[in-house]
Amino acid sequence: MYFCSFLRDVSEDCPIILIYLGGTAFELLGDEGMDGRDGMDGTNGMIGTDEIISLFADRMLRVHRSFIREILKVTENPRTISFAGGLPNPKFFPVREVAEAAQKVFSESGQAALQYSTTEGYPPLREMIAERYAKKGLKVDADEVLITTGSQQGLDLLGKAFLNRGDQVIVEEPTYLAAIQSFRMFEAEFRSVPLQEEGVDPSALKAVLSDSQAKLFYAVPNFQNPTGVSYSEERRKEVAEAMRGHSTVFVEDDPYGELRFMGEEASSMRRYLGGKAVLLGSFSKVISPGLRLGWVCGRSDVMEKLVIAKQASDLHTSFLSQRIAYQYLADNDVSQHMELIRSEYKKQRDLMVKMIEESFPAGVEYTRPEGGMFLWVTLPENMSSLDLFDRAIKNDVAFVPGQAFYANGGGYNTLRLNFSNSDEERIVEGMGRLARSIEEMT
């Protein structure tokens, strides 16, 4: 059984979290893994650990392993019910259909599919993405679409193309953890704007825009990771209005938009901001994350730089994956498949909310997302979610403590729960364990 507890050293821009597993401290957000056991400790006449560390680029000293990826290791205990990961439900992966698509690609154009290809991506897939935008009323040219290795690579490419050391990036507070990690690689400074029920606080955004030279404003307006919050249409307009007169680029990351199971679809910020908005999209939640397929969509001068950045990174995204995804999308009714996912996720979300309502103590607040995969819990002021994590792990249930999602510190009494990856039985049992853990804290 794991013995697990957290200590915090809250340095301003890099919270360090120590986790104790079986009595051994691992620094989750620190420079873990450099224990010199790989023959680089100087004992064999090679370069020593301190020496090699002194050779690392400055950017590596400010970026740490993903907290979530580390937490997932702790939750590998089969008894643990984990609401920590951000995984789609594999039950809905279209395995047979993707296998059929792959078979077709191999039999009809196997040699081409296994060859190198262009950086921009497979033209019919780019066309298809442009058509999917057109169906939502958004005019996008296929030439404006760059296929990436997951939308995560889009973040990396934007960082490469835009950010010098010390450049400012505006982020929602809280924000997507791996965006912090990605932009921190380029030694960006973060300016956080609080996220409210209907989107970022427009007056705080105005103040930050006026008092910074931020190059990028990174946001997830649909079913945000980690909170599940979506911007209302009105708030989107207010944000666009606030952006007026500033040369900051709006980066709209939208991996969850198609997972809306309630409420009205809202407009992409591109509708209000035109070429000032760069869009990131992903097939991870539409087909599967294992394909590693996403895209960036922006005006031609931006795309030109992103293509150069991508050439230097990986030449192009797996052509085989692109061909299979295209074939799958061409041969199947994806909207019907998405209907199924949405209705199942809604049931899972409803059950999680019901469990909170019925079994969490008064004073606990939570979001009721209209889509996506996460909901966000705020504990009473005096309760630390890191302490709760410690207790929850002993009770065999896991979540992500919220402070991991704060670029500038904070969120000590918050936590993220994933509802997409657990069936109903596990949600009932796991939420019961979590409620008990909270009670034990009071």
Ligand X SMILES: Cc1ncc(COP(=O)(O)O)c(C=O)c1O
Name the site residues for ligand X (rule: CB under 6 A): 86, 150-152, 176, 220, 225, 253, 255, 282, 284, 289, 294
Buried b (16+ CB within 10 A) or exposed e, 314-349: eebbbbbbbbbbbbbbeebebeebbeebbebbbebb
Nearest distance from residue 218's CB to ligand X, in Å? 9
Using an 8 Å Cβ cutoff, are 424 and 351 in contact?
A: yes
Nearer to ligand X, 80 or 282 (CB): 282
**How buried is 26 (Cβ within 10 angstroms: 0-12 exposed, 13-18 middle, 19+ buried)?**
middle
Nearest distance from residue 281's CB to ligand X, in Å? 8
Which residue's Cβ lies closest to ligand X? Answer: 150
Nearest distance from residue 158's CB to ligand X, in Å? 12
Strands 145-148 vs 15-21: parallel, antiparallel or unpaired: unpaired
Say whether the peptide bond before residue 226 is cis (omega within 30 degrees of 0): yes
Nearest distance from residue 150's CB to ligand X, in Å? 2
Nearest distance from residue 352's CB to ligand X, in Å? 18
In sequence order, what DSSP letters do the residues of 230-285 get, joined into one string? ---HHHHHHHHHHHTT--PEEEEE-SSGGGB-SS-----THHHHGGGEEEEEESTT
Residue 220 CA to its chain's centroid (Å): 9
Total residue count of the chain as it appears in this document: 442
Residue whose tokens read 């409620």: 435
Nearer to ligand X, 148 or 168 (CB): 148
Nearer to ligand X, 82 or 282 (CB): 282
Nearer to ligand X, 352 or 435 (CB): 352
Nearer to ligand X, 269 or 355 (CB): 269
Nearer to ligand X, 255 or 401 (CB): 255
Nearer to ligand X, 284 or 437 (CB): 284
Nearer to ligand X, 75 or 395 (CB): 75
Which helix (H) or strand (E) is 170 found in, with range? strand 168-173
Nearer to ligand X, 29 or 179 (CB): 179
Nearest distance from residue 180's CB to ligand X, in Å? 11
Nearest distance from residue 223's CB to ligand X, in Å? 9
Nearer to ligand X, 173 or 253 (CB): 253
CB atoms within 10 A of CB 167: 18
Which helix (H) or strand (E) is 368 found in, with range? none
- Residues with Cβ < 8 Å from 244, sequence gap 6 or more? none
Helices (H) and strands (E) counted in the chain, each on its own, are 15, 17
- Residues with Cβ < 8 Å from 358, sequence gap 6 or more? none
Nearest distance from residue 114's CB to ligand X, in Å? 23
Nearest distance from residue 398's CB to ligand X, in Å? 17
Q: How far apart are CA 413 and CA 369, in angstroms?
A: 19
CB atoms within 10 A of CB 190: 20
Using an 8 Å Cβ cutoff, are 292 and 321 in contact?
A: yes
Nearest distance from residue 291's CB to ligand X, in Å? 9
Using an 8 Å Cβ cutoff, are 380 and 395 in contact?
A: no
Nearer to ligand X, 157 or 273 (CB): 157
Q: How far is CA 314 from CA 106, 126, 153, 181, 269, in A?
A: 23, 18, 10, 19, 29
Nearest distance from residue 224's CB to ligand X, in Å? 7
Q: How far apart are CA 201 and CA 257, in angstroms?
A: 21
